[in-house]
Structure 1
Amino acid sequence: MSHERHEPDPEVVALASRVFDHARQGHTQDLGTYLDAGVPVNLTNDKGDTLLMLAAYHGHPDTVTLLLDRGADPDRLNDRGQSPLAGAVFKGETEVARVLAEHGADPDIGTPTARETALMFDQRDLLALFDAP
């Protein structure tokens, strides 16, 4: 069995970089075009951040909605054990946190959890959202 290491194709790396930038910058329509063309909705970067994590952390509720509607996993943790919901709470992105919670994101997963993060920053509105029926 060969254990050769293959260098990544520069064109694939450039494409992935563009896709992650669209998520990070909230370019919802452009990102949707890439998803329509077959880019996996749960694609991760070298830190385990999904497109959803990047869109959530950078405060783009429309992009977050698109990704969730396309089947993104709201509870996928990155390599540091952080959830998209905890990232949004940490950054004070209330609308993004609301969208994630409405799509079933679990406030009690990851390290720290979204609930713990909301407690640390005394974000009572988000705590109430997590406890809503």
Structure 2
Amino acid sequence: MSDDTPAQAAAFSDGLFDLVRAGRTGAVLDQVDSGVPVDLADAQGSTLLTLAAYYGHADLVAGLAERGADVDRVSGRGQTPLAGAVFKQHDEVIRVLLAAGADRDAGAPSARETAEMFGRALPAD
């Protein structure tokens, strides 16, 4: 992508985030394995992992975490991937993120606070 124009780079990035939203695990991980930064973020500060968690794609979340994605990176809205998964009630994603070491208290509101707001409990420490 080094020779791409800013418009081409933006189109590539937008397309990659669309693949994340659609849960295209293989296609996204192939791009990361080919050199796309694992913590690539969109204009709102949401990373590939943030969106994968929010949209409930546990396999993609696991693959990104295995490749070193920051499981506690806070988006431009102050939310971590774990808090997003809690908000959307994606229990398998929550388990994957906790197994990858996600901090229940990172972000604002944190995953713990988000769970409390909705009368839910996070899996035990």
Q: TM-score when scaled to structure 1?
A: 0.87
- The residue that corresponds to 1:79 in the other structure is 76
1:9 is displaced (CA, Å) by: 1.9
Choose which of 13, 29, 44 in structure 2 pairs with 1:16: 13
- Residues 1:43 and 2:43 aligned together: no
Task: State the percentage of identical aligned residues.
Answer: 50
- The residue that corresponds to 2:24 in the other structure is 27
Q: State the one-letter code of the partner of 2:100.
A: H
1:13 is displaced (CA, Å) by: 1.0
Matches within 5 A, 1:1-133: 9-124=6-121, 126=122, 129=123, 131-132=124-125
1:93 is displaced (CA, Å) by: 0.6
Unaligned runs of 5+ in 2: none
Unaligned runs of 5+ in 1: 1-7
Task: Find the residue that maps to 1:81 and give its secondary structure.
Answer: coil
Q: State the one-letter code of the partner of 1:112.
A: P
Q: Count residues with an aligned counterpart.
A: 121
**Which structure: larger Rg?**
1
C-alpha separation in 2, matches of 1:65 and 1:22: 16
Q: State the one-letter code of the partner of 1:17.
A: D
1:122 is displaced (CA, Å) by: 1.4
Q: TM-score when scaled to structure 2?
A: 0.93
Q: Which runs of 4+ in 1 moved over 4 A?
A: none
C-alpha separation in 1, matches of 2:33 and 2:76: 27
C-alpha separation in 2, matches of 1:35 and 1:17: 15
1:112 is displaced (CA, Å) by: 0.6
C-alpha separation in 2, matches of 1:9 and 1:112: 34
CA RMSD of superposed structures (Å): 1.0
